[in-house]
Structure 1
Amino acid sequence: MRSASPPRAGSATGGKHMIYAARSVTGKRANNEDSFFVPKGGEISLAIVADGMGGHSAGNIASAIAVEAVASELKKGGPGGPAALVMNAVNHANTAVFEYASAHPECKGMGTTLVMALLFKTRFVAANVGDSRLYHYHAGKLRQVTVDHSYVAELVASGYITREEAARHPRRNLITRAIGTRACERVDIFECDWEENDALLLCSDGLYSELEDEDLVRVLKESETLDAACASLVELALASGSRDNVSVVLVENGEVR
Structure 2
Amino acid sequence: MLTFLYNRLCGKPAYRIETATLIGIGGRDNQEDALAYAVPNAQAGCWVIADGVGGRGAGEIASQLAVDSILTGFRNTPACTENNLRRLLESAHQAVFTARRPNTAGANMATTAAVLITAKNRAIWGHVGDSRLYHFRDGRLMHRTADQSLLNMLVACGALPEADINHHPQRNLILHALGQDDTPAFCLHGPVSMQAGDGFLLCTDGVWELVNDIELLECWQNSHSANHWLAGLQQLLEPRAAEQNSTGKPADNYSAIAVKLTA
TM-score past 0.5 threshold: yes
Structure 1 residues 54 and 107 mapped into 2: Cα distance closer, same or farther (>3 Å)? Answer: farther
The CA deviation at 1:42 is 4.4
The CA deviation at 1:235 is 3.0
Q: Does the CA contact (< 8 Å) of 2:130 and 2:148 recur in 1?
A: yes
Pair 1:244 & 2:252 matched: yes
Q: Deviations over 1:76-98 (max 9, x none)?
A: 118x8711011001000000000
Structure 1 residues 55 and 165 mapped into 2: Cα distance closer, same or farther (>3 Å)? Answer: closer
* SS state at 1:165 partner: helix
* SS state at 2:172 partner: coil
More strand per residue: 1 or 2? 2
* SS state at 1:184 partner: coil
CA distance in 2, matches of 1:11, 1:66: 27
Pair 1:7 & 2:4 matched: yes
Structure 1 window deviating more from structure 2 (68-77 vs 214-223): it is: 214-223
Who is 1:126 aligned against? 125
Q: Does the CA contact (< 8 Å) of 1:133 and 1:144 recur in 2?
A: no
Q: Does the CA contact (< 8 Å) of 2:166 and 2:208 recur in 1?
A: no
CA distance in 2, matches of 1:218, 1:25: 21
The CA deviation at 1:200 is 0.4
Name the aligned partner's letter for residue 171 of structure 2.
R
Runs of 4+ in 1 over 6 A off after TM superposition: none
The CA deviation at 1:10 is 6.0
Q: Does the CA contact (< 8 Å) of 1:33 and 1:57 recur in 2?
A: no
Q: TM-score, normalised by structure 1?
A: 0.88
Who is 1:167 aligned against? 166
Equivalence map 1:27-66=2 (5 Å) = 27-39=26-38, 42=41, 44-54=44-54, 58-66=58-66
CA distance in 2, matches of 1:75, 1:142: 30
Structure 1 residues 56 and 217 mapped into 2: Cα distance closer, same or farther (>3 Å)? Answer: closer
| Unpaired runs of at least 5, structure 1 | none
CA distance in 2, matches of 1:12, 1:27: 39
What RMSD over aligned residues (CA atoms) do the two structures have, in Å?
2.6
The CA deviation at 1:148 is 0.4
Q: Deviations over 1:163-214 (max 9, x none)?
A: 1222332211111110111241111110023211211011001111122212
Who is 2:248 aligned against? none
CA distance in 2, matches of 1:212, 1:47: 22
CA distance in 2, matches of 1:81, 1:137: 19
Structure 1 residues 41 and 10 mapped into 2: Cα distance closer, same or farther (>3 Å)? Answer: farther
Who is 2:201 aligned against? 201
Who is 2:141 aligned against? 142
Structure 1 residues 216 and 152 mapped into 2: Cα distance closer, same or farther (>3 Å)? Answer: same
Q: TM-score, normalised by structure 2?
A: 0.86
* SS state at 2:38 partner: coil
Q: Does the CA contact (< 8 Å) of 2:57 and 2:108 recur in 1?
A: no
* SS state at 1:240 partner: helix
Pair 1:185 & 2:184 matched: yes
Pair 1:225 & 2:225 matched: yes
CA distance in 1, matches of 2:185, 2:8: 27
Q: Does the CA contact (< 8 Å) of 1:94 and 1:183 recur in 2?
A: no
| Unpaired runs of at least 5, structure 2 | 245-250
Q: Deviations over 1:98-129 (max 9, x none)?
A: 00014773301111100011012322110100
CA distance in 2, matches of 1:142, 1:239: 25
Structure 1 residues 214 and 42 mapped into 2: Cα distance closer, same or farther (>3 Å)? Answer: same
Who is 1:111 aligned against? 110
